[in-house]
Amino acid sequence: MKAVVAHAGEADVLELAVPELRDNSVLVKTHYSAVSTGTELMLLGQSRHKAEPVYLGYSAAGEVVAVGAGVKHVGVGDRVACYGSPYVRHAEYLLVPKQLVVPIPAQVDLREAAFVGLGAIAIHALRQADLHFGEHVVIVGLGILGQIIAQVAHAAAFNVLAHDILRDRCRVLQDMGIGRASHAKEELAQMIDELTDGEGVDAVILSTQGGDEALLNQAFKWVRDRGSVLIVGDMNVAFSRELMYEKEARVLISRAGGPGRYDERYERDGHAYPIGYVRWTEHRNMYEFIRLLATNRVHLAPLFTHRAPVEEAPQFYRSLIRDERGTALGVIIEY
């Protein structure tokens, strides 16, 4: 089977053996996998300094071809969405532990379902922000993850404001009727004052790659007294104690798709967390994202911008690196 890796700063396609079925796992024939552009281009850069290839991708959709002992929620022939490296990657076949696989209803487009990993990350971020019905949130960074966070926030009846330095990304959000967005921080500050009567928003979610402490400190000025600043993207964390103290603001980190991520007993071995103790695990967040797609609360098709067959991955990633205008949002590899 073909799989996409990063090596020496370039994407490459390797020929690998199809994984062998294991207990508590599902063998999936991939139809589509979603590219998390910011994360994967970062990994491409880091691969220059590593001797071994690095697998790319962590979110996909396809068809079940075999199930191991202990798997009951999906069967052979079912359409499924999968999330979580190192099990999920850009590859023609995936061996995925049962906690990282959810079924896809017939009315959901497989291409949209392939973004289940980013959807779970977006949902977990909003849960970490601890927002409540009717509250205001600012989302900074309108790449594919920021766009999904904004859509889920809108579906949850939060008042959405957004900021990205790229005008086109702001326009995409507004054209979909989701809140208000601005490429200028000054204009965003005016919007915040108007909508909150000068009190500030309840939370700012920073969904950016490589942001600096200036952005974090700016977020303190946008939140209300005792508001929250949530970091989702990969950014430097340094902040002004004075600004944070003035608002008694909280700074939070959101880790991937929810409780269970990176816990081998949960992911690899299939030991679920009881719902009475952990209401929203990564598996339940995945289910919830698929439900939002099925009920037309979230729409990803308007965000699709780039797609390519797996065989063309090397040149495809080179084109993404050259995308200086940031036009890439919904990026898909096909199998």
CATH code where residue 49 lies:
3.90.180.10
Which pLDDT value is given to residue 330? 97
190: three-class secondary structure by DSSP: helix
Q: What's the domain count of the chain?
A: 2
308 and 286, same domain (yes or no)? yes
User: Is the dihedral angle over the CA atoms 22, 25, 31, 35 positive or is it negative?
Assistant: negative
Query: Mind listing the pLDDT tens digit for each residue in 264-316?
Result: 999 999 999 999 999 999 999 999 999 999 999 999 999 999 999 999 999 99
Final residue in a domain of this structure, among 253, 286, 311:
253
249 and 126, same domain (yes or no)? yes
Percentage, residues of the chain above pLDDT 90: 91
Final residue in a domain of this structure, among 206, 221, 253:
253
139 and 231, same domain (yes or no)? yes
CA distance 310 to 47: 20
164 and 248, same domain (yes or no)? yes
CA distance 131 to 6: 37
Radius of gyration of the chain (CA): 20
295-333 exposure pattern, b = at least 16 Cβ within 10 A, e = fewer? eeebebeebbebebebeebeebbeebeeeeeeebbbbbb
Which residues, 6+ apart, have CB-to-CB distance to 186 below 8 Å?
none
Query: Mind listing the pLDDT tens digit for each residue in 164-199?
Result: 999 999 999 999 999 999 999 999 999 999 999 999
69 and 129, same domain (yes or no)? no
13 and 103, same domain (yes or no)? yes
Average pLDDT over the chain, rounded to whole? 95
Residue 295 sits at φ, ψ, to 5 deg, of -100, 10
Query: Mind listing the pLDDT tens digit for each residue in 218-253?
Result: 999 999 999 999 999 777 777 888 988 899 999 999
- Domain range for 235: 121-253
327 and 217, same domain (yes or no)? no
Instruction: Judge if pTM exceeds 0.75.
Output: yes
188 and 243, same domain (yes or no)? yes
User: Is the dihedral angle over the CA atoms 109, 115, 117, 121 positive or is it negative?
Assistant: negative
Number of Cβ within a 10 Å radius of residue 212:
12
Which residues are registered as beta bridge partners of 201?
223
